[in-house]
Amino acid sequence: MLRDLIDRPAAAAQAAPLVDTFGRAVTYLRVSVTDRCDFRCVYCMAEHMTFLPKQDLLTLEELDRLCSAFVRRGVRKLRLTGGEPLVRRDVMTLFRALSRHMESGQLEELTLTTNGSQLARYAADLAACGVKRINVSIDTLDPDKFRAITRWGDLGKVMEGIRAAKAAGLHVKINAVALKDVNEHEIASMMAWAHGEGHDLSLIEVMPLGEVGEERVDQYLPLSQVRAQLEQRFTLADIAYRTGGPARYVEVKETGGRLGFITPLTHNFCEGCNRVRVTCTGTLYMCLGQEDAADLRTPLRATADDALLDTAIDEAIFRKPKGHDFVIDRQTRQPAVRRHMSMTGG
């Protein structure tokens, strides 16, 4: 049971930190707790998805042990993702278990990325577990367009969740995928809304992962173009602010808020990559944009101690590539990576 893991004493000695062959320390772990989601965003997954059988997923106890092994190896930031993490049954049990690493000081941040649909229900519990900051994905403030982009989503419920998060003391960052001919003319108004509510806004280029029933080249909007358009109306000043992820931030003079750009295609961020991802089945991906992966579920289940798991993690980090191979153009119609974003974790 998770209670047993919470009460189990920490390892006497800190294991060696995780450093790849390019000298990059891995201090940030993103873990997908489920591939399921209550939305079907057009850039993320197909409308009629086939999800993994539940028996293939790691249990919450196994997820706790896996995350804890990475924390012991120097991971300081842990983000739970999906799919939609808050649709995983009893997921708050996992948050409560992992919060012990916050209390011990081994973990600097425990956070999540969510579509916001379940936030009204869970915001107070998340804050009680030591979560200070969350990312909420919203690509438009138009309710009808929101429904079209997410296929199933209700913007009103998401806004209710954001209000609950603010009331619970959580700092909310809004993530928006920039979509050509869909929301590109709304970005300035979204930024004004987010900053007016005290939220940072990060813009993300669409990524070529998985077949989604849409042409990526028709969705792709370069953020270099978006920035140039914004600079016709706003004063954007580059700042050193970082959250541990790939966003590069500017401060917007007119709003006083921060705007982040996540640019895997126009300006990749591989040289400083400190992240790895684990799927809900225990597969470790050393790079979001590469297929090379390592099975951590087998060593995790083979023995009660972490010796085999540590060896598997070490071997995987040794193979972490220098960078990804993302490309979107008319000649490259197949996704760079066939797995969906919901499988890897957002």
Q: Dump pLDDT digits (tens) for 247-306.
A: 899 999 999 999 999 987 655 556 778 899 999 999 999 987 677 899 999 999 999 999
pLDDT per position in the chain (346 positions), as tens?
Answer: 555 555 544 443 457 899 999 999 999 999 999 999 999 988 888 888 888 998 899 999 999 999 999 999 999 999 999 999 999 999 999 999 999 999 999 999 999 999 999 999 999 999 999 999 999 999 999 999 999 999 999 999 999 999 999 999 999 999 999 998 899 999 999 999 999 999 999 999 887 544 444 554 667 889 999 999 999 999 999 999 988 778 899 999 999 999 999 987 655 556 778 899 999 999 999 987 677 899 999 999 999 999 999 999 999 999 998 765 544 444 544 544 454 555 565 5
Task: State how far the Cα of 65 lies from the Cα of 310, in Å rounded to an integer.
Answer: 12
Superfamily of domain 2-7+21-344: Aldolase class I (3.20.20.70)
Helix, strand or coil, per DSSP, at residue 134: strand
Q: Where do the structural domains in the chain lie, given as residue ranges?
A: 2-7+21-344
Predicted structure pTM score: 0.85
Q: Is the dihedral of CA 322, 78, 342, 66 positive or negative?
A: positive
Predicted pLDDT at 10? 44
Task: State how far the Cα of 285 lies from the Cα of 283, in Å rounded to an integer.
Answer: 6
Predicted pLDDT at 339? 47
Predicted pLDDT at 328? 43
Predicted pLDDT at 289? 67
Annotated binding site for GTP: 30, 79, 113, 173, 275-277
- Residue corresponding to tokens 């980090």: 317
Identity (one letter) of the amino acid at 13?
A
Helix, strand or coil, per DSSP, at residue 189: helix
Task: State how far the Cα of 297 lies from the Cα of 308, in Å rounded to an integer.
Answer: 11
Task: State how far the Cα of 345 lies from the Cα of 35, in Å rounded to an integer.
Answer: 8
pLDDT tens-place string over residues 55-66 = 899 999 999 999
Task: State how far the Cα of 33 lies from the Cα of 284, in Å rounded to an integer.
Answer: 13
Annotated binding site for [4Fe-4S] cluster: 37, 41, 44, 270, 273, 287
Q: Which residues contact 201 (CB under 8 A, 6 or more apart)?
A: 173, 174, 175, 176, 190, 191, 194, 195, 257, 258, 259, 260
Predicted pLDDT at 327? 47
Identity (one letter) of the amino acid at 172?
V
Q: Which residues pair with 264 in a beta bridge?
A: none
Annotated binding site: 30, 37, 41, 43-44, 79, 83, 113, 137, 173, 207, 270, 273, 275-277, 287
Query: Do 47 and 40 meet the contact criterion of CB atoms below 8 Å apart?
Result: yes
Annotated binding site for S-adenosyl-L-methionine: 43, 83, 137, 207
Helix, strand or coil, per DSSP, at residue 270: helix
Predicted pLDDT at 312? 97
Helix, strand or coil, per DSSP, at residue 120: helix
Task: State how far the Cα of 324 lies from the Cα of 100, in Å rounded to an integer.
Answer: 34
Of the candidates 3, 14, 71, 39, the residue with the CA atom closest to the CA atom of residue 341: 39
